[in-house]
């Protein structure tokens, strides 16, 4: 697979300071770089996993995917052209040697990033947060008005592999050993949630107490999902988007023998019960795409 990992999410936010505080103090990221109208935050070695741009209203501007090499990037650009997707930008960007922007219907614009800048990260406590400290941005879940076509784009253009599905309702895709880097469901075009990895179950306890002390609450979880077998908990960002914290995600090391499974909604939701399928609030939450995203014409 040409994509090596999920890179970043770019959000347009009405108040940069409020949102920076949310990501530092609630989600547990740190600021790497900031200008008058942009803030770059990360939990990992990647220069940024969240890019905030001041603007109104709250929306997802782009999602970033890291590409293994310049050669692989050329392959992806060729496939995008053949599939009728538009390549709308190509050049250096803050935090990456080269970023190629690909736009298709019913998807947020995708930034293919090559030569992503790495930043030092210390796990000895030199970067302090008051809440949980995630390891990385691990996956994004998108909804698309043309679910089947978008699934084709993810598979045939970007090269994602199907890990599991709830037939006709949900698909989980991987680009590396992580069981899923992208989730896809049908619906109004949007980013449904973005997810950070925690290390262990103890951090879910910290997260719950941390949210409670700030008058915030979880929307669903903690629990354990079927596909990917991961622990999960969801809570809202200040714009009504959904943040997931997960841990214990299935690693698919044996590509040759892995076969995608099919789950019922109840099996996929929460294996622990009693709320096996998500509550209404979970379905209602999400981040709209800028200008509603391009529609399939």
For residues 191 and 288, what is the distance between their CA atoms, to the nearest angstrom? Answer: 6
The nearer residue to Fe ion, 95 or 228, going by C-beta atoms, is 228
Binding residue count for Fe ion, defined by CB under 5 A: 2
- Does 197 engage in binding with Fe ion (CB under 5 A)? no
HSE at residue 99, side-chain half, CA atoms within 13 A, is 19
Q: Cα Rg for the chain, rounded, in angstroms?
A: 18
Cβ-Cβ contacts under 8 Å for 191 (sequence gap 6 or more): 9, 60, 63, 108, 140, 141, 142, 143, 241, 286, 287, 289
Point out which span in 8-16, 22-30, 168-176, 239-247 binds Fe ion (CB under 5 A): 239-247
Residue 150 token pair: 């978008």
Q: How far is the CB of 55 from Fe ion (least distance, A)?
A: 26
According to DSSP, residue 221 is labeled: E
Q: Output the smallest distance, CB 265 to Fe ion, in A.
A: 15
Range in contact with Fe ion (rule: CB under 5 A) among 46-54, 101-109, 189-197, 209-217: 189-197
User: What tokens appear for 169 in the block?
Assistant: 């309702």
Helix (H, G, I), strand (E, B) or coil at 283: helix
List Cβ neighbours of 123 (8 Å cut-off, separation of 6 or more).
none
Q: Which of 102, 113, 195, 231 binds Fe ion (CB under 5 A)?
A: 195
Using the contact rule CB under 5 A, the part of the chain among 32-40, 168-176, 241-249, 279-287 near Fe ion is 241-249
Longest dimension (CA), the chain: 52
Query: Considering only 1-9, 88-96, 193-201, 288-296, which stretch makes contact with Fe ion by CB under 5 A?
Result: 193-201
Q: Which is nearer to Fe ion, 178 or 244 (CB)?
A: 244
Please identify, using beta-carbon distances, which residue of 40 and 160 lies nearer to Fe ion. Answer: 160
What is the contact mask toward Fe ion in residues 18 to 57, using x (rule: CB under 5 A)?
----------------------------------------
Q: Candidates 61, 164, 237, 244: give the one binding Fe ion (CB under 5 A).
A: 244
Segment interacting with Fe ion (CB under 5 A) among 44-52, 112-120, 188-196, 255-263: 188-196
Residue 100: is the preceding peptide bond cis (ω within 30°)? no
- Which of residues 142 and 195 has its CB atom nearest to Fe ion in the complex? 195
Name the one residue in this structure whose structure tokens are 């300071």: 17
Which CB, 100 or 151, lies closer to Fe ion?
A: 151
The SS3 of residue 22 is helix
> Distance between CA 235 and CA 71 in Å, rounded?
39
Q: What is the rounded CA–CA span in Å between residue 225 and residue 63?
A: 24
- For Fe ion, the closer CB: 111 or 244: 244
Residues making contact with Fe ion (CB under 5 A):
195, 244
């Amino acid at each position: 697979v040409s994509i090596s990992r999920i890179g970043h999410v770019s959000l347009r936010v009405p108040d940069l300071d409020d949102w920076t505080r949310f990501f530092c103090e609630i989600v547990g990221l740190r600021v790497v770089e900031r200008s008058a109208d942009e803030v770059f935050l990360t939990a990992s070695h990647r220069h940024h996993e969240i890019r905030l741009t001041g603007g109104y209203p709250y929306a997802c501007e782009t999602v970033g995917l890291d590409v293994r090499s310049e050669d692989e990037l050329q392959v992806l650009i060729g496939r995008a052209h053949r599939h009728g997707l538009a390549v709308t930008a190509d050049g250096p960007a803050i935090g990456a040697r080269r970023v190629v922007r690909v736009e298709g219907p019913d998807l947020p614009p995708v930034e293919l990033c090559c030569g992503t800048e790495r930043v030092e990260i210390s796990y000895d406590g030199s970067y302090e947060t008051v809440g949980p400290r995630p390891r990385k941005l691990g996956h994004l879940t998108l909804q698309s008005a043309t679910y089947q076509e978008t699934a084709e784009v993810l598979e045939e253009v970007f090269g994602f592999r199907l890990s599991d599905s709830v037939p006709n309702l949900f698909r989980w895709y991987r680009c590396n050993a992580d069981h899923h880097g992208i989730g896809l469901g049908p619906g109004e075009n949007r980013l449904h949630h973005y997810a950070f990895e925690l290390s262990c179950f103890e951090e879910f306890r910290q997260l719950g107490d941390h949210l409670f002390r700030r008058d915030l609450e979880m929307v669903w979880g903690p629990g354990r999902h079927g596909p990917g077998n991961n622990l999960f908990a969801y809570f809202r960002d200040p714009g009504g988007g959904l943040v997931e914290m997960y841990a214990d995600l299935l690693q698919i090391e044996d590509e040759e023998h892995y076969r995608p499974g099919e789950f019922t909604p109840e099996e996929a939701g929460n294996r622990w019960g009693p709320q096996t399928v998500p509550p209404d609030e979970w379905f209602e939450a999400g981040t709209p795409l800028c200008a509603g995203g391009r529609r399939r014409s």
